């Protein structure tokens, strides 16, 4: 016990841990090293779950998706300079996707960095992080740790969520202060993301516009999934009777099998709708910027948009009825307004959408039953579709080109926030980071469906998955290359084409190297059985699914984004 002569002391290490714990942070996604190794040892000792990765980008992606799943900032910790830069990609991606995340990096001594005298891993990290996140702070004094962590949390989750950078110079950790004073310096964030009610005028305007619609459509985006206002969203959709289209990560917010889902009639509803209600979805490239031939006749659309970020409105096309506020409050206000009198959309419209949807589903069905070997994408995805249908609580991580675009359409989702994918940037490399955090945060089985190229960006984390014994089943769609496995070197030289990998690789052996299960499959039946067994056992598993090298198409569904040469010879 401390006496008067010897007051109890605390230090920077302890205060960082205390501040995170006080604010309900339970998991840290990290790569250890100077100067944070002791911090991580102590954090584990104090009951935080510390998940240690092999590369910071994967740790950062894990933190980002933890934020999306929980509405609390996911926390990633890295070493200075290169570790920081590796984590920064994930921080920027989180910010782009509106996922709340905090990147905490150790840094080198200010005096030396600022004079550019060449310290160990010298870099002005704060300046570099700033343009890539919502907010960036540096803490120089132990007594400021509490307020800095509080600011970081509030900045990450309030308003439009996003990434925050916290710079902690090495010297901070060993700074000592009086323990009682230290305890008083901590701040527990109150009401970090308060409800933001839409103005009554904007609600009335939106209802007025919606009432005049003959062919209305609701588009649900990942902001709507993030908001965890699942019941309010369902009520709006069902009370209004309006067909809905989920964006990729909003699939399952209402089940894809819902009678009002227009997922299988996407092209038709985008082209033919007259009034479109955007709910936590941006009119960016993924929605063709709200214009062009995807959206039918020029001038044929009227947009209503619900978003927490006022500046999102009018970003691509005019928003006739902007509704600024949180999803739950905005959607509930619209539903309440409908109680005063609402006529469902004309049966001519809803009937046409259903007819198109059923025709498209019927057209797809036989392809999904293909038991061809080597497998094509449809046969393999048909098998995975069944696995997910039988386990609606499982989380699905998905990246690749063809593997992504086709899985998005084929694999129905049945519950909210179960589909995690490449998001706004369409970035490759999220796979294993997302899979680890999905398992850690949910405690549920995770299925990661990965193109062979996509998997390569984070593949070393299979060791992490084995080390923590996580219930993750990875399926690598192995078609020997990027898009296809058939490109050849045009010079006839011995180097392979930049678009292909070692043919007939056995990714399953990677998993076996670390004590997990590896399986090689060549038919949809084998794939179905292997994935089902893995999902039921909860054992870390990697299934190498042999796909026909001819089966893919260039860039999956977004080949039109590839510039082509006008002068290239034949
Ligand atoms: P998608 O890619 O699924 O279309 P986006 O990431 O483009 O989704 O859009 C998500 C939108 O949701 C962003 O504009 C963001 O500001 C908004 N958003 C995020 N959280 C909330 C929330 N709680 N309430 C309202 N809007 C939100
Ligand atoms: Mg491939």
Q: Which residues fall inside 5 Å of ion ligand 2, going by CB?
A: 451-452, 479
SS3 421: strand
Averaged pLDDT score across all residues of the chain = 97
**559 CB contacts (<8 Å, ≥6 apart)?**
553
pLDDT of residue 568: 80
555 CA to middle of ligand 2, Å? Answer: 10
Ligand 1, atom 5, lies closest to the CA of: 281
Distance CA 437, CA 435 (A): 6
Residue % of the chain over a pLDDT of 70: 99
pLDDT of residue 555: 83
Ligand 1, atom 23, lies closest to the CA of: 227
Number of the ligand closest to the Cα of 220: 1
pLDDT of residue 498: 97
Which residue among 96, 97, 98 has the greatest number of ligand 1 atoms within 8 angstroms of its CB, and so is best to mutate?
98
Q: What is the mean pLDDT of residues 464-480?
A: 98
- Closest atom of ligand 1 relative to the 312 alpha carbon: 14
Residue % of the chain over a pLDDT of 90: 95
ipTM given for this complex: 0.94
Helix residue ranges per DSSP H, 369-394: 377-390
Identify whether 374 is preceded by a cis peptide bond (ω within 30 of 0).
yes
542 CA to middle of ligand 2, Å? Answer: 16
- Closest atom of ligand 1 relative to the 219 alpha carbon: 4
How far does the chain reach from its first CA to its final CA, in angstroms? 83
pLDDT digits (tens, 9 = 90+) for 104-120: 999 999 999 999 999 99
Ligand 1 neighbours, Cβ below 6 Å, are: 97-98, 160-161, 221-223, 226-227, 247, 249-250, 280-282, 284, 286, 307-309, 312, 326-327, 424
- Closest atom of ligand 1 relative to the 193 alpha carbon: 23
pLDDT of 460 higher than 80 = yes
Element (DSSP H or E) covering residue 102? strand 101-107
pLDDT of 178 higher than 90 = yes
Number of the ligand closest to the Cα of 283: 1
pLDDT band at 448 (very low <50, low <70, confident <90, very high): very high
Geometric angle at alpha carbon 389, from 386 and 395, rounded to 5°: 110
pLDDT of 252 higher than 60 = yes
pLDDT of 6 higher than 80 = no
pLDDT band at 134 (very low <50, low <70, confident <90, very high): very high
249 CA to middle of ligand 1, Å? Answer: 11
Distance CA 560, CA 219 (A): 23
pLDDT of residue 549: 96
Which residue among 95, 163, 193, 221 has the greatest number of ligand 1 atoms within 8 angstroms of its CB, and so is best to mutate?
221
* Cα distances (Å, whole numbers) of residue 471 to 207, 370, 442, 458, 508: 46, 29, 11, 17, 16
Closest CA to 142 of 42, 41, 10, 7: 10
pLDDT of residue 570: 53
pLDDT of residue 232: 98
pLDDT of 4 higher than 80 = no
228 CA to middle of ligand 2, Å? Answer: 34
- Closest atom of ligand 1 relative to the 423 alpha carbon: 2
pLDDT of 2 higher than 70 = no
Residue 249: DSSP 8-state: G
Q: HEC states along 536-563?
A: HHCCCEEEEEEECCCCCCCCHHHHHHCC
Closest CA to 100 of 168, 159, 170: 159
Which residue among 191, 223, 289 has the greatest number of ligand 1 atoms within 8 angstroms of its CB, and so is best to mutate?
223
Number of the ligand closest to the Cα of 315: 1
**511 CB contacts (<8 Å, ≥6 apart)?**
462, 466, 474, 517, 518, 540, 541, 542
pLDDT digits (tens, 9 = 90+) for 298-323: 999 999 999 999 999 999 999 999 99
Please tell me whether the overall predicted TM-score, pTM, comes out greater than 0.95 for this model: yes
Q: What is the mean pLDDT of residues 144-148?
A: 98
Tokens 């323990």 correspond to 179
409 CA to middle of ligand 2, Å? Answer: 18
pLDDT of residue 561: 86
Closest CA to 474 of 488, 460, 487: 460
Ligand 1, atom 19, lies closest to the CA of: 223
HSE (side-chain half, CA atoms, 13 Å) at 71: 16
pLDDT digits (tens, 9 = 90+) for 385-434: 999 999 999 999 999 999 999 999 999 999 999 999 999 999 999 999 99
Residue 347: other Cβ atoms inside 10 A = 10
pLDDT band at 565 (very low <50, low <70, confident <90, very high): confident
Distance CA 429, CA 422 (A): 8
Strand partners, 75: 28, 102
**270 CB contacts (<8 Å, ≥6 apart)?**
217, 245, 287, 288, 294, 295, 296
Number of the ligand closest to the Cα of 68: 1
Buried residues in 439-473 as b, exposed as e (16+ CB within 10 A)? bbbbebbbbbbbbbbbbbbbbebbbbbbbeebbbb
Q: What is the mean pLDDT of residues 91-99?
A: 98
pLDDT of 3 higher than 80 = no
Q: What is the mean pLDDT of residues 6-33?
A: 97
- Closest atom of ligand 1 relative to the 226 alpha carbon: 20
Ligand 1, atom 9, lies closest to the CA of: 281
For the chain, what is the total number of helices (H) and then of strands (E)? 22, 19
Closest CA to 202 of 320, 332, 282: 320
Closest CA to 368 of 351, 350, 386, 356: 386
pLDDT of residue 559: 82
pLDDT of 1 higher than 70 = no
């Amino acid at each position: 016990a401390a006496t008067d002569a010897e007051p109890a002391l605390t230090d920077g290490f302890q205060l960082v841990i205390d501040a995170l714990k006080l604010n309900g942070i339970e998991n840290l996604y990290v790569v250890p090293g100077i100067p944070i190794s002791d911090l991580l040892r102590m954090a584990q000792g104090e009951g935080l779950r510390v998940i240690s990765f092999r590369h910071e980008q994967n740790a950062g992606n894990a933190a980002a998706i933890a934020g999306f799943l929980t509405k609390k900032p996911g926390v990633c910790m890295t070493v200075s300079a290169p570790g920081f830069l590796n984590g920064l990609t994930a921080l920027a991606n989180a910010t782009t996707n509106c996922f709340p995340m905090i990147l905490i990096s150790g840094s080198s001594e200010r005096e030396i960095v600022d004079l550019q005298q060449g310290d160990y891993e010298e870099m002005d990290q704060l300046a570099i992080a700033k343009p890539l996140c919502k907010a960036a702070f540096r803490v120089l004094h132990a007594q400021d740790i509490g307020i800095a962590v509080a600011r970081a949390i509030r900045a990450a989750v309030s308003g439009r969520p996003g990434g925050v950078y916290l710079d902690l110079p090495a010297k901070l950790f060993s700074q000592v202060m009086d323990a009682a004073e230290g305890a008083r310096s901590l701040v527990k964030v109150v009401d970090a993301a308060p409800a933001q009610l839409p103005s009554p005028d904007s609600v009335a305007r939106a209802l007025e516009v919606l009432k005049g619609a003959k062919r209305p459509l609701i588009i649900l985006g990942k902001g709507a999934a993030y908001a965890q206002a699942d019941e309010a969203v369902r009520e709006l959709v069902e009370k209004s009777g309006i067909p809905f289209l989920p964006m990729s990560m909003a699939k399952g917010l209402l089940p894809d099998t819902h009678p009002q889902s227009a997922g299988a009639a996407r092209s038709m509803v985008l082209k033919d709708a007259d009034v479109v209600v955007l709910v936590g979805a941006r009119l960016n490239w993924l929605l063709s910027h709200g214009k062009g031939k995807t959206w039918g006749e020029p001038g044929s659309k009227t947009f209503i948009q619900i978003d927490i970020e006022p500046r999102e409105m009018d970003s691509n096309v005019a928003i006739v009825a902007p509704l600024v506020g949180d999803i739950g409050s905005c959607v509930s206000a619209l539903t309440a307004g409908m109680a005063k009198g609402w006529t469902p959309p004309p049966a001519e419209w809803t009937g046409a959408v259903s007819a198109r949807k059923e025709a498209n589903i019927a057209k797809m069905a036989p392809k999904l039953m293909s038991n061809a070997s080597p497998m094509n994408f449809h046969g393999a995805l048909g098998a995975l579709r069944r696995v997910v249908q039988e386990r609606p609580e499982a989380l699905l991580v998905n990246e690749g080109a063809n593997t992504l675009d086709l899985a998005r359409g084929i694999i129905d989702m049945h519950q909210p926030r179960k589909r995690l994918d490449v998001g706004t940037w369409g970035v490759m490399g999220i796979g294993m980071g997302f899979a680890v955090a999905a398992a850690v945060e949910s405690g549920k089985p995770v299925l990661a469906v990965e193109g062979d190229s996509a998997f390569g960006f984070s593949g070393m984390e299979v060791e992490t998955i084995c080390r923590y014994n996580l219930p993750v089943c990875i399926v690598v769609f192995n078609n020997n290359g990027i898009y296809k496995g058939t490109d050849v070197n045009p010079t006839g030289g011995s180097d392979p084409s930049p678009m292909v990998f070692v043919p007939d690789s056995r990714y399953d052996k990677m998993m076996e190297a670390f004590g997990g299960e590896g399986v090689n499959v060549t038919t949809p039946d084998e794939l179905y059985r292997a994935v089902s067994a893995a999902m039921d056992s909860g054992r870390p598993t990697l299934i190498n699914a042999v796909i026909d090298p001819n089966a893919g198409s260039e860039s999956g569904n977004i080949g039109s984004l590839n510039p082509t040469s006008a002068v290239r010879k034949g």
